[in-house]
Structure 1
């Protein structure tokens, strides 16, 4: 990659425009100010446990570039170094970590294009930050210039006294303009095995990594990626988990869209059994995301309940639903919120005398007393979530049964999964 291409890429990815040239120069000078040059810079990442991330940026690597979060980069470089880079490049301190997370991987890739790790600043970078020093004028020159400058100053003062118009205030540098943080976005559509993705992510590394993961599953010729990079974009905490799910996205007609930490899942073009399968995959794999559009027997049964449902019909529908918890905890995942919304609506619309017992169950792994406590806490978490959604407390009771009422074989993973559940019964 030529230095012009690098600066152009950083300018586009960061929105710095003409300021990108100086910014790249300042960052490059910082990198090669480390003992040993680029190798010394890499040592900082290895000391922080991020050596693999750094190595993925080296030119010639077949694996996709891994992303680095702005706060991770700040911890690697240190607050003082980050502030110095901000000061030298004329960029606001709040913006600089995000800009660095975008630019540093690109710079590392560019300077290792020859397959080596330079120990000193490549010549092409030397002039980017205005590094050349202007020599001091000789004393003789100053003796000649001083009277001339004095005359100019007197003339300027006289002109000012005759002209009341004031020059307009100097415009602030573009890089120092306050930037409003925006949510990450990502949309996906599979049409006959050809996928189209659009959206905005915080770093070039995240963009490159996601594109590489998609191309690895669907083939490069079948991926149309229109991803933008904006350092002012907030982190996308779901991105790494989403990449794990890519092999499950091969269903023709699958669509979804992220906006911040919310996901709209569209499986309407799929067969019912495929819709349910993909919904379960997304609900369990993206527990940190609020999901709209999940499809399973439970959501359909709850939606089909007429107002004034009796206890038997209500609990039958509730028992077709699935809610998830963080592993080993009684914390409901955000992906279960849509299910809980439907459940609360159905319970509130049921007959006034209907009461529901919420029971928590675990598998047999671990300590029995711990499992009993966890089952009680999970049942109570569901009850509290429903009450929060407007269900009268008098209609709900929470109980835990530990591993005492298994539905599956605890010697198999499938059986243990069936035993970890929330059940509902009429009272």
Structure 2
């Protein structure tokens, strides 16, 4: 829908989600609408997690920095993020980072003039694919405070009772043997969560290795896997290929799990063609591009350093051609 078109395009491009960007936004809106207090309840979760100051910049403006996946998890809970990830076959860290990025902007759209709405607009309810979802219960009651109307209870009970009797007397009876067999049939196991999707086939093996890292992994284990992958920059370009972005976003989620004292260096390299001085500048831009993507995914900027080396360390080898290497201190 028009209200969210720009936001969907933004997160789709930033997180390489493609058509899943719209689905992710729809699932987040459903999560908000399912809260008894709607937008207010959603914001209360972030207030309770210590983000009250940031919320003020979201209302009506959608301003403020993106939240990291771990910060979103602190506010919404891992189970909520994982549930959305399973529905969309996306990694939990990627979903958390996307929600952290979209939340300030989405709240800005839902709170025109800085006012928290009492109901989801009909147009937004249509985007969810159903009848209007209530966002909050703040309405003027037609009855005095503390008094409720129960005029509808008796007719409803009568209808439900008659429906139940009709169903009881007219439903077909299954043979007892079939019923018992059905009871003994074990339920199918739930499917395992899907790995992080990568558009670059060469990244599949690396993504699987990152997923297999055990809790408490070391920085050296992480970079050893990352350095097996080559970000294949185009000649003369510092633009990260779209196919490499999902893997870097997965790496961002893992970097955020390293000890707080860790420091990650991102080294950029070029091939041996071209002017050496220009190659140093180009390699710096490549390292900066990777650093910026990681920061955008929620990694704290103070633990990341980017440095360009040109082709100074090639020494006749193609090992460093147009690539990025990571190291952890």
Superposed pair shares fold, TM > 0.5? no
Which structure dedicates a bigger proportion of its chain to helix?
2
- Structure with greater Cα Rg: 1
- TM-score in terms of structure 1 length: 0.34
Task: Say which structure, 1 or 2, has more relative contact order (CA 8 Å, 6+ apart).
Answer: 2
